[in-house]
């Protein structure tokens, strides 16, 4: 079974405009670096329509194409800091829950709420108990540390409800702030809530060594590898070395496949990303080895355990 532990379903009205501006800026910046100077309005016109997927049809189609059985969809709550989008975070959580209901056995939806919102823990609880959400996504880059007191009512609920918490880690585009996303800031929560399974998103990108050591010294921290697909494609030896080092420190049962789509879908297909992982046992450079069992665990076995899914 292949499980994408980290993706999103996007609509323009679901997220604040400054976030989209940040995406336009970084796309334009990266294109210019590759010798393609495009006006920002043009970047928006060319790349954005492919993001919009209010019914999750595009997501399901790309899962089918790549052979992905299930995907965890994560709402994002940036509103308190970046300005409230036209669709409220409560409504978004509800929409995500409905998408999961409309695609049973394919989509698993998490809740997302900024812990500094009044009634955040209540929204999380209602989302899980009444709407069928299966975990919590935090995005501290809007200006809080995941170790802050404000987060604790949510962790208490996660413990009570028996669901995992995934937190963004690693540097991120403006106007979001990277310093809140260093893996070390998860440490208090890991210690104070040993019964909660935490997941650090994106293998913390450049902070992966800190994450590997943290995950290796705690019993309740895993990581997803979403966002690494271009590194894997363009710098395969480095990718293999990084993964091997992480697995050596943190254990083979703590790494989860993910895409962070729709962000990367236009740049590399899910099929190619999965193949890069499947190739690890026979294409890793001399001196670095992976087993088929590790590949199976990364692609789905570990996620199945964390999500409490049955074998089939
Ligand atoms: Zn993401």
Quote the ligand 1 centre to 69 CA distance (angstroms). Answer: 19
Asked whether 140 and 162 are in contact (CB, 8 A), the reply is: no
Residue 40 resides in a domain:
no
Reported as a single tens digit per residue, the pLDDT across 126-182 is 999 999 999 999 999 999 999 999 999 999 999 999 999 999 999 999 999 999 999
Among 301, 300, 299, 278, residue whose Cα is nearest residue 290: 278
Q: What is the pLDDT of residue 312?
A: 59
Check whether 38 has a pLDDT greater than 70: yes
Spatial neighbors of 111 by CB under 8 A, at least 6 apart, are: 75, 93, 96, 123, 124, 127, 128, 133, 135, 136, 137
In the Cβ-directed half-sphere of 178, how many Cα atoms lie within 13 Å?
Answer: 10
The answer to whether 43 and 24 have CB atoms below 8 angstroms apart is: yes
The CATH number of residue 274's host domain is 3.20.20.140
pLDDT over 90, % of the chain: 97
Q: Which residues pair with 3 in a beta bridge?
A: 70
Q: 294: CA distance to ligand 1 center in Å?
A: 24
Nearest to 146 by CA among 185, 198, 204: 185
Distance 104 CA to ligand 1 centre (A): 22
Residue 210 lies in a domain: yes
Over the stretch 252-284, which tens digit does the pLDDT of each residue have?
Answer: 999 999 999 999 998 899 999 999 999 999 999
Print the domain residue range for 83: 3-14+56-307
For residue 310, what pLDDT is reported? 81
Q: Is there a domain that residue 227 lies in?
A: yes
Q: How far is the CA of 221 from the centre of ligand 1 (A)?
A: 18
Q: What pLDDT digit, counting tens, does each position of 192-244 carry?
A: 999 999 999 999 999 999 999 999 999 999 999 999 999 999 999 999 999 99
How far, in Å, is the centroid of ligand 1 from the Cα of 287? 32
Does residue 48 lie within any of the structural domains? Answer: no
Integer Rg of the chain from CA? 18
- What's the pTM value of the predicted model, to 2 decimals? 0.97
| Ligand 1 ion: nearby residues, β-carbon < 5 Å | 260
Does position 311 have pLDDT exceeding 80, yes or no? no
As beta bridge partners, residue 166 has 137, 199
119 within domain boundaries: yes
**pLDDT-wise least confident of 9-18, 31-40, 108-117, 185-194:** 31-40
Q: For residue 139, report the distance from its CA to the centre of ligand 1, in Å.
A: 9
191/205 Cα distance (integer angstroms): 23
> What token pair was written down for 86?
């036209």
- How many A from CA of 108 to the centre of ligand 1? 15
Contacts of residue 302, defined as CB under 8 A and 6 or more positions apart, other chains included, come to: 222, 253, 254, 255, 256
Predicted confidence at residue 217, as pLDDT, reads 97
Distance 181 CA to ligand 1 centre (A): 13
Cα(109) to ligand 1 centroid in Å equals 13
> How far apart are the CA of 7 and the centre of ligand 1, in A?
6
Number of compact structural domains in the chain: 1
CA distance to 72, 235, 243, 252, per residue, from 239 (Å): 24, 6, 6, 16
Report helix, strand or coil for 135: coil
Q: Give the tens place of pLDDT for each residue, 80-118.
A: 999 999 999 999 999 999 999 999 999 999 999 999 999
Q: Provide the 3-class DSSP secondary structure of residue 90.
A: helix
Domain membership flag for residue 214: yes
The encoded tokens of residue 158 equal 């996660």
- 232 is a domain residue: yes
pLDDT at 124: 98
Residues 6+ apart with CB under 8 A from 213: 249
Average pLDDT over the chain reads 97
**Is residue 269 in some structural domain?**
yes
């Amino acid at each position: 079974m292949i499980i994408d532990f980290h993706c999103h379903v996007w609509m323009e009205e679901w997220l604040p405009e400054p976030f989209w501006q940040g995406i336009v800026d970084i796309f334009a910046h990266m294109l210019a670096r590759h010798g393609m100077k495009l006006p920002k309005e043009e970047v928006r016109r060319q790349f954005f329509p492919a993001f919009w997927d209010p019914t999750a049809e595009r997501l399901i189609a790309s899962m089918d194409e790549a052979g992905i059985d299930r995907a965890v969809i994560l709402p994002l709550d940036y509103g308190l800091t970046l300005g409230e989008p036209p669709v409220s975070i409560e409504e978004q959580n509800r929409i995500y829950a409905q998408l999961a209901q409309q695609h049973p056995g394919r989509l698993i939806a998490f809740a997302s709420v900024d812990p500094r919102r009044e009634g955040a823990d209540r929204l999380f609880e209602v989302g899980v108990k009444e709407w069928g959400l299966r975990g919590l996504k935090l995005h501290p880059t809007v200006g809080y540390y995941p170790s802050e007191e404000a987060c604790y009512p949510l962790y208490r609920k996660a413990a009570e409800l028996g669901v995992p918490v995934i937190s963004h880690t690693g540097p991120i585009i403006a106007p979001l702030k990277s310093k809140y996303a260093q893996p070390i800031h998860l440490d208090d929560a890991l210690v104070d809530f040993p019964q909660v399974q935490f997941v650090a998103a994106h293998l913390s990108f450049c902070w992966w060594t800190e994450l590997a050591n943290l995950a290796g010294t705690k019993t309740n921290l895993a990581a997803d590898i979403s966002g690494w697909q271009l590194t894997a494609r363009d710098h395969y030896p480095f990718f293999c070395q990084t993964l091997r080092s992480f697995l050596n420190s943190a254990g083979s049962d703590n790494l989860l496949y993910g895409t962070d789509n729709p962000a990367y879908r236009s740049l590399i297909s899910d099929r190619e990303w999965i193949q890069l992982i499947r190739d690890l046992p026979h294409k890793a450079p001399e001196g670095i080895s992976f087993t088929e069992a590790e590949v199976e665990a990364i692609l789905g076995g570990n996620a199945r355990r964390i999500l409490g899914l049955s074998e089939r």
